[in-house]
């Protein structure tokens, strides 16, 4: 059977012109067969970087096969994106309760909701779908939650952001997807924005679109900028609370002081470009995990660039947390508008492969205790840092 790449079904809320190149369902391919077939892998590899998210329906994928496929995108990577079992040790990290490791294949995590029994060597696993109510500064009232209102939990890239490099791809495999009523995401930021989504959707936005829709002055800032992440960012941010859109942290000064964090070294702190270059298409993706950022460096305009109306023409090093966050929010918020979000409608057996260095994604919604959901997730700390824009890219957009 020939391979087909079929556009993903878009909800009525989505602007189809912005999704022409985003997402494909792959037909005629068993994901387990990809790693051992170099020709097939090359096709899937290139399609992944072109479309940024690939869906295989009705898949049967063992943890070993999922690990093998994830690893094929970065053969020398080995450990889980946050480090193997490291999350168990950093008990204060906000990621801790969401992850359960498959004993046989520690790079694959069991995530979901409710209690799962006798699962791949785990006698009993209590899972909890992350809820915005424990992470955001404000919350949807219980009354409104009962009516089906919810929020994005946290827009992010899968990445430790300290010591380890952001995984190239993430695979998400829906083994058990409970059916339930659709929910409505409220942005609660004064815009009135809302988005109706399937229960427990994973929401995706394209980092390429995020860059593309910026006005010229902010494109110039983005292309010249690098962000510095906090050491142990998930521990650092744990006492703080997130924005109602799930797109970053409220600046209330609640972050853990650097002196109180687990031991850290300056040399392990991550400084990444704001814009990452797609290795296959050459496209530019705005890739910032807003929650973990501490500082922002802006390079001066390159020689010969038009200085009129330019922001930070001579460069800048922003260290005021609120200023850094406000600027990033201004650049990222437009791209999570309802018309730019792809909310995946999970079915049992859906296997999704996404370009973790090209999209942002968020957990959404709320389950009750008796709604049992089981997913396998795998991503691997990459063997290299993401590539930023070339000198030519900077010249073009600065
Ligand atoms: Fe994630």
Residue 2 Cα, ligand 1 centroid: separation in angstroms? 31
Q: Which residues does residue 202 pair with via DSSP β-bridges, in sequence order?
A: 344, 363
**Is residue 90 pLDDT above 50, yes or no?**
no
pLDDT at 219 over 70: yes
Asked if residue 349 and residue 305 are part of one domain, the reply reads no
Residues 87, 217 share a domain: no
% of the chain residues with pLDDT over 70: 96
**Residues 163-175: b if buried by 16+ CB within 10 A, e if exposed:** bbbbbbbbbbbbb
Distance from residue 49's CA to the centre of ligand 1 (Å): 18
Q: Are residues 235 and 183 in the same domain?
A: no
- What is the number of alpha carbons within 13 Å of residue 51 lying toward its C-beta? 21
pLDDT, tens digit, 9 for 90 and up, residues 289-337? 999 999 999 999 999 999 999 999 999 999 999 999 999 999 999 999 9
**What number is the average pLDDT over the span 106-128?**
93
128 and 153 assigned to the same domain: yes
What average pLDDT does the segment 216-220 reach?
98
d(CA 159, ligand 1 centre) in Å: 8
Torsion-angle region of 75 (φ positive above 0: left; ψ -120 to 50: alpha; else: beta): alpha
CA of 35 to the centre of ligand 1 (A): 23
Shared domain for 107 and 170, answered yes or no, is yes
How confident is the model at residue 379, as a pLDDT? 96
Q: How far apart are CA 172 and CA 192, in angstroms?
A: 31
What digits encode the pLDDT tens for the residues 353-371? Answer: 999 999 999 999 999 989 9
pLDDT at 97: 56
Check whether 89 has a pLDDT greater than 80. no
Q: Pick the more confident residue, 95 or 51.
A: 51
- Whether 1 has a pLDDT exceeding 80, the answer reads no
Number of domains in the chain: 2
Whole-number pLDDT of residue 78: 81
3-state helix, strand, coil in the chain (%, to 5): 25, 30, 45
Q: Ligand 1 centroid vs 362 CA: distance in angstroms?
A: 7
Judge whether 249 and 240 are in contact, CB under 8 Å: yes
Confidence of residue 52 (pLDDT cuts 50, 70, 90): very high
Predicted confidence band of residue 88 (pLDDT cuts 50, 70, 90): very low
According to the model, what pLDDT value does residue 336 have? 98
Report the alpha-carbon distance of residue 171 to residue 362 in Å, rounded. Answer: 14
- Same domain for 216 and 173, yes or no, is no
Among all chains, which residue has been given the structure tokens 């109602």? Answer: 244
The lowest-confidence range among 86-90, 199-203, 390-394 is 86-90
| Sign of the four-CA dihedral 317, 323, 327, 333 | positive
Checking if the pLDDT of 198 tops 60, the result is yes
365, 201 in Cβ contact below 8 A? Answer: yes
Q: Please state the rounded mean pLDDT for residues 375-381.
A: 97
Q: What is each CA distance from 211 to 79, 327, 380, in whole angstroms?
A: 30, 14, 25
What is the average per-residue pLDDT within 382-390?
97
Q: What is the pLDDT of residues 235-291, one digit of tens each?
A: 999 999 999 999 999 999 999 999 999 999 999 999 999 999 999 999 999 999 999
Q: Are residues 316 and 374 in the same domain?
A: no
What's the whole-number average pLDDT of the chain?
A: 95
Write the pLDDT tens digit of every residue in 21-39: 999 999 999 999 999 999 9
CATH number, domain with residue 136 = 3.60.130
**What pLDDT was estimated at residue 93?**
58
| The predicted structure's pLDDT at residue 341 | 98
Q: How far is the CA of 20 from the centre of ligand 1 (A)?
A: 24
> Do residue 45 and residue 189 come from a single domain?
yes
Residue among 344, 20, 21 nearest 197 (CA): 344
Q: What's the mean pLDDT in 135-151?
A: 97
d(C-alpha 342, C-alpha 360), whole Å:
11
**Are residue 29 and residue 120 in the same domain, yes or no?**
yes
CA-to-CA dists, residue 72 to 138, 170, 218, 356, 358, angstroms: 41, 12, 36, 15, 18
Instruction: Kindly write down the DSSP assignment for every residue of 209-223, as one continuous string.
Output: HHHHTS-HHHHHHHH
At a CB cut-off of 8 Å and minimum separation 6, what does 122 contact?
100, 102, 103, 110, 116
**pLDDT recorded at residue 2:** 86
Give residue 87's pLDDT.
Answer: 44
**181 and 227 housed in the same domain:** no
How many angstroms does the Cα of residue 361 sit away from the middle of ligand 1? Answer: 6
pLDDT (average), residues 205-213:
98
Question: In this structure, what are the phi and psi dihedrals at residue 2, rounded to the nearest 5 degrees?
Answer: -70, 150
Q: Are 86 and 100 in a shared domain?
A: yes
Domain span at residue 66? Answer: 4-205+342-379
Average pLDDT over residues 74-82: 88
Distance 235 CA to ligand 1 centre (A): 17
Q: Average of pLDDT values for 65-85?
A: 88
pLDDT value of position 79: 85
Å from CA of 28 to ligand 1 middle: 27
68 shares its domain with 195: yes
Other Cβ atoms less than 10 A from the Cβ of 314: the count is 10
80 phi and psi, to 5 degrees?
-55, 150
Cα separation, 244 vs 133, whole angstroms: 10
The reported pLDDT for the residue numbered 86 is 45
């Amino acid at each position: 059977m020939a391979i087909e790449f079929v556009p993903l079904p878009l909800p009525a809320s989505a602007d189809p012109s912005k999704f022409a190149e985003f997402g494909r369902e792959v037909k005629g391919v068993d994901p387990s067969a990809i790693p051992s077939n170099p020709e097939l892998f090359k096709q899937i590899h290139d399609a992944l970087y072109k479309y940024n998210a690939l869906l295989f329906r009705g898949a049967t994928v063992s943890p070993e096969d999922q690990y093998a496929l994830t690893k094929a995108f970065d053969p020398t990577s080995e450990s889980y994106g946050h480090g193997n079992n490291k999350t168990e040790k950093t008990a204060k990290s906000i990621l801790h309760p969401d992850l359960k490791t498959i004993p046989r294949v520690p790079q694959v995590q069991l995530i979901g909701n409710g209690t799962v029994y006798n699962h791949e060597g785990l006698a009993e696993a209590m899972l909890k779908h992350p809820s915005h109510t424990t992470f955001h500064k404000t919350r949807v009232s219980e009354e409104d939650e009962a009516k089906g209102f919810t929020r994005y939990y946290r827009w992010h890239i899968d990445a430790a952001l300290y010591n380890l490099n952001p995984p190239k791809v993430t695979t998400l495999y829906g083994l058990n997807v409970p059916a339930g009523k659709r929910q409505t995401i409220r942005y609660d930021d004064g815009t009135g924005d809302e988005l109706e989504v399937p229960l427990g959707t994973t929401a995706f936005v394209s980092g390429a679109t995020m860059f593309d829709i910026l006005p010229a002055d902010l494109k110039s800032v983005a292309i010249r900028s690098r962000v510095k992440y906090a050491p142990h960012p998930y521990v650092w941010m744990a006492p703080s609370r997130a924005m109602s859109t799930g797109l970053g942290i409220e600046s209330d000064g609640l972050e853990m002081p650097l002196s109180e964090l687990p031991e850290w070294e300056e040399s392990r702190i991550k400084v990444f470009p704001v814009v990452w270059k797609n290795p296959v298409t050459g496209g530019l993706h705005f890739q910032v995990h807003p929650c973990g950022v501490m500082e922002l460096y802006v390079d001066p305009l390159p020689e010969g660039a038009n200085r009129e109306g330019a922001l930070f023409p001579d460069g800048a090093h922003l260290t005021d947390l609120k200023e850094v966050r406000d600027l990033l929010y201004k650049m990222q918020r437009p791209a999570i508008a309802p018309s730019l979000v792809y909310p995946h409608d999970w079915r049992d057996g859906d296997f999704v492969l996404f370009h973790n260095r090209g999209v942002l994604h968020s957990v959404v919604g709320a389950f009750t205790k008796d709604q049992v959901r089981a997913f396998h997730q795998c991503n691997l700390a990459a063997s290299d840092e993401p590539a930023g824009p070339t000198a030519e890219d900077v010249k073009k957009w600065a």
